[in-house]
Chains A and B, each alone.
Chain A
C-alpha cells in the first residue's frame, strides 16, 4: 500500500491545496500518471502517482488544504489488499464528524510528532451547488461560499452564479466610491507577505545605486532582434546576462546566508521578478552567465507566458541565486527592492530614459538607466556592492562582451 502524500514542492511550501482529483477511487493508475492537481504557494502542478496500482481512497477532498507530508490518497499495488481494512481511515481518525473546517493558516510544517491532519469539509458544510454552477464558478474564479443559493436547501444554481457576476460587475461600474472591504489573501499573497516581512526583519539591507548609459545595449538589442527577425530580446534579457556575468567576479553576492556560514553558489541562476494579476513570482533562468542572449530571451519569454497561464513547474521557481527586478516598462526613475531570502542581493532597475549627460566638454542626450542593488549586510559590504555595479555598468555600456 502506498499513501500519496502532499509533496514539498519548494522550500517555502508548508502546505498545499488539492484543486482537483484527476483520478477517482477505483481508477487504475500508472506510475508517473497525473492523479491530482495541487495548488502550491505559487503555481498549480499535476501530481504524478509514484506507484502503479489502483487508487482506492481519497483522503483529502477537492479544495482541502493539507500540510506537506499529509496523506491525501491511497494507492494499492495490483493484488494488494488494504492493510488493516478494519482500521479507521485517516479521515475518520483525525476529523471528528461535526468538527468545523479548520481555517486555512499558512504556518510552519507541523512537528514530526504530529500526525498529518488533512483538512476535510464535513458533509454538512459542503456547499450545495449544481454541477453547472460549480463549473461556472471555477471558470470565473469565484468562491462558491460568497454566493447565496436560491435552489432547494440553498443549492447554488447557474442563475445564482450569473446574478452574482452581474452584481459584482454592476458594483464595479456604478459605485463611484466603493465601500471598504476585507479581501481574503490569496495563497500567493500570503507567501509574499510572510517572506518579505521575514526578509526585512532579518536581513540588514543596504542600497547602492549607479547610472548606466544604455545606448549601446539598446543598439545591441535592436541588432539581435533584427537578426532573429522578431522582437524576442528585451532590455531585461541583456541586464540578466550582464548581471549574471558580473557575478562571476563577486561570488559573495551570488551567495546565501545560512546563519553560520555563507554559501557561495558555483552557478549563476538568475531569478527575474514577474508581476501577475494575483501577485509576484520569480521564474529562474539557470546558468544564465553561460547562455547567449537569444537563449535567455527565449527562455524568459517561455517562462513568462507559462507563468501567466499558471503552468510553471515548481522547479522553475526554485534555486535562484540572485534576482533582478525590473520596473523599466512603467517609466520609473529608480526603486529599491527587498531581498528574496536566502539570496544575498537583488538588483532593481528603472527605465532607460533620455537624459542630458556630460560627454567631455559637451552635453549630449543619452539613454540613462538607474540600477539599485539591495544587499544583505551580513554577507557583503557597500564597497563590494559598488564594485559589482561598476562591473555591471561596464558590461552594459560596452555590450560587445555580452553577445
Chain B
C-alpha cells in the first residue's frame, strides 16, 4: 500500500520511526523543540522523546555542530537541523575540517555518523543572504555525502540511508517542497546513495536535475511533449556520489543534455555534470550540453527580480530547443 504524504510528513515520519527504533538518534537545532521547528519538521518531537533527545540549542552553529561531531564520534547518531543551509557557513569549519575528515585522519578508527539537514535554496523574498544554494560547495569536499531529495519518497528513502550510514551527510531539503505531496510506499526501504531516478522516459534529450528543479524539468518536459519533443528527466537524488552511469547511459541514447540547477552558473553542479557527460558520451553528443541556472547575482529582494533570477520552466524549454537546433 502506498500513502500520499507531504515531503514534510515523509521526513517527519521517517525521523520519528528511526528515533523509535534507535535510541542513539538525537536531534539538535535552533527552535526544534519548544517551537516545534521553523518548518515544523520536528512538531511534537519534544513531547514524545524528551529534552535529552530533542535539544534546543543557542544561536551558535559552530558550537552545536561541533557538539554533534563529538557525539557522533562517541557513538550517538546526531541529526542537526540548520534553520537554513545558509547558517551552516558559520559551522563550516566543523563540517568541512572535522566531520568530513575524522574517519580519514583516524585511519578508520572513528566514524562520524552525523546528519545535518535543513532547507537549501531560495524561498520567497528571503533576500541575498538567505536564498543560497550551497550544494556545490559541500559536494566539492571528499568525506561528505551530499543528498538532495526531490520527492516525498526520496525524502524518506534517502533519510533512512543517511540515518543508517557511518559518514556525515549533508541533507539538502527545500522549503518550497515541504508541502509537496507524493506517494510513499508503506515501509519503503532505504534508497542507496548514488542511484538516480528516471522520472520520465524520452528519446530526444535528457534533462538532468535534483531537488526542486526536477519539478520544473517535469513541467518543461510536459510542454515539450506538446511540441513533439520527448524529454527524459533524471532526478539525481544525490550529488555525492553522482550516478554517472545513469546519466551517461541516457545521454548516449538521446544525444543531448540539459542540466538544471538553482545555484549560480560558475563552478556549479551543472558544470561538473556536463563534464561527466563529455567524458562519457562525447562521441554521441549532437550539441553542447546546455545549463539552466540561477542568475549570477546576489538574490534580489524584490519579488519580480527574484523570479527573474531563478530558473523558470521556459528557460528549460528554450535550452532543450537549442540542443535540438530549433529556435
What is A's interface to B at a CB cutoff of 8 Å? 130-135, 150-152, 157-159
A157, B322: Cα distance in complex, Å: 12
Tell me if B325 and A131 are in contact (CB < 8 A): no
Candidates B282, B283, B284, B286; contact of A157 at CB < 8 Å: B286
Tell me if B284 and A135 are in contact (CB < 8 A): yes
B255: chain A residues at CB < 8 Å are 132, 158
B275 nearest CB across to chain A (Å): 15
Candidates A132, A150, A152, A159; contact of B284 at CB < 8 Å: A132
B282: chain A residues at CB < 8 Å are 131
A150, B324: Cα distance in complex, Å: 11
Tell me if B325 and A151 are in contact (CB < 8 A): yes
Q: Is B137 an interface residue (CB 8 A)?
A: no
B321 nearest CB across to chain A (Å): 13
Q: Is B176 an interface residue (CB 8 A)?
A: no
Q: Is B287 an interface residue (CB 8 A)?
A: yes
A151, B284: Cα distance in complex, Å: 16
A131: chain B residues at CB < 8 Å are 282-286
What is B's interface to A at a CB cutoff of 8 Å? 255, 282-287, 325
Tell me if B325 and A150 are in contact (CB < 8 A): yes
B286: chain A residues at CB < 8 Å are 130-133, 157-158
Tell me if B325 and A132 are in contact (CB < 8 A): no
B283: chain A residues at CB < 8 Å are 131-132, 134-135
The residue in chain A whose Cβ has the minimal distance to the Cβ of B255 is A132
A130: chain B residues at CB < 8 Å are 285-287
The residue in A132, A133, A152 that gathers the most chain B C-beta atoms within 10 A of its C-beta is: A132
A158: chain B residues at CB < 8 Å are 255, 286
B153 nearest CB across to chain A (Å): 35
A135, B281: Cα distance in complex, Å: 12
A71 nearest CB across to chain B (Å): 28
Q: What are 12 A-B residue pairs whose CB atoms fall within 8 Å in the complex? A: A130-B285, A130-B287, A131-B283, A131-B284, A132-B255, A132-B286, A134-B283, A150-B325, A152-B325, A157-B286, A158-B286, A159-B325
The residue in chain A whose Cβ has the minimal distance to the Cβ of B281 is A131
B236 nearest CB across to chain A (Å): 24
Which 4 residue pairs are nearest across A and B when measured between Cβ atoms?
A132-B286, A158-B286, A130-B286, A131-B283
The residue in chain B whose Cβ has the minimal distance to the Cβ of A138 is B283
A263, B297: Cα distance in complex, Å: 83
Tell me if B325 and A157 are in contact (CB < 8 A): yes
The residue in chain B whose Cβ has the minimal distance to the Cβ of A150 is B325
B285: chain A residues at CB < 8 Å are 130-132
B105 nearest CB across to chain A (Å): 33
A151, B326: Cα distance in complex, Å: 9
B213 nearest CB across to chain A (Å): 26
B287: chain A residues at CB < 8 Å are 130, 151, 157
A208, B46: Cα distance in complex, Å: 111
A134, B283: Cα distance in complex, Å: 8
B284: chain A residues at CB < 8 Å are 131-132, 135
The residue in chain B whose Cβ has the minimal distance to the Cβ of A161 is B286
A133: chain B residues at CB < 8 Å are 286
A152, B286: Cα distance in complex, Å: 12
B288 nearest CB across to chain A (Å): 8
A159: chain B residues at CB < 8 Å are 325
The residue in chain B whose Cβ has the minimal distance to the Cβ of A134 is B283
The residue in B255, B283, B284, B325 that gathers the most chain A C-beta atoms within 10 A of its C-beta is: B325
A152: chain B residues at CB < 8 Å are 325
A159 nearest CB across to chain B (Å): 7
B281 nearest CB across to chain A (Å): 9
The residue in chain B whose Cβ has the minimal distance to the Cβ of A136 is B286
A69, B282: Cα distance in complex, Å: 33
A5, B208: Cα distance in complex, Å: 45
A245 nearest CB across to chain B (Å): 52
The residue in chain B whose Cβ has the minimal distance to the Cβ of A160 is B325
A131, B285: Cα distance in complex, Å: 6
A48 nearest CB across to chain B (Å): 24
A130, B285: Cα distance in complex, Å: 7
A159, B256: Cα distance in complex, Å: 13
A133, B284: Cα distance in complex, Å: 8
B228 nearest CB across to chain A (Å): 14
A158, B283: Cα distance in complex, Å: 12
B327 nearest CB across to chain A (Å): 10
The residue in B282, B285, B286 that gathers the most chain A C-beta atoms within 10 A of its C-beta is: B286
Additional pairs, 12, CB under 8 Å, beyond known A132-B286, A152-B325, A157-B286: A130-B285, A130-B287, A131-B282, A131-B283, A131-B284, A131-B285, A132-B283, A132-B284, A150-B325, A151-B287, A158-B255, A158-B286
A159, B287: Cα distance in complex, Å: 11
A152 nearest CB across to chain B (Å): 8
A151, B285: Cα distance in complex, Å: 14
B214 nearest CB across to chain A (Å): 26
A19 nearest CB across to chain B (Å): 15
B284 nearest CB across to chain A (Å): 5
B323 nearest CB across to chain A (Å): 10
A150, B285: Cα distance in complex, Å: 16
The residue in chain B whose Cβ has the minimal distance to the Cβ of A149 is B325
A211 nearest CB across to chain B (Å): 57
A158, B255: Cα distance in complex, Å: 9
A134: chain B residues at CB < 8 Å are 283
